[in-house]
Amino acid sequence: MPERTCIACRNKNDQGFFWRVARDFEGRVALWKGHGRSAYICKKQECIDGALSKGRLERALKGPVASEDRRVLQDELICKLR
């Protein structure tokens, strides 16, 4: 099992431990979509906040993330925490 790293806290773990966010072929960023470059986020509030701030998502995905995509992603992740 390859290890993944949370883009917020940098903890390493198995892929199943994280949510996966990826960029699709149109450049949109969403949860579990796309086959290209992806970013991993721990399933907790601090890491959602951390991942969506300070350009971490942009850095992990090597490019801009639309503000709408970011907002949808944040809503989805927070919803999954409940």
The site for Zn ion (CB under 5 A) is made up of 6, 8-9, 42, 47
CA 62 to CA 1: how far, in whole Å?
A: 24
CB of 11 to Zn ion, least distance (A): 5
Burial 68-79 (b: 16+ CB within 10 A, else e): ebeeebeeebee
CA 79 to CA 60: how far, in whole Å?
A: 23
Of 42 and 52, which CB lies nearer to Zn ion in the complex structure? Answer: 42
Of 13 and 70, which CB lies nearer to Zn ion in the complex structure? Answer: 13
CB of 17 to Zn ion, least distance (A): 9
CB of 70 to Zn ion, least distance (A): 17
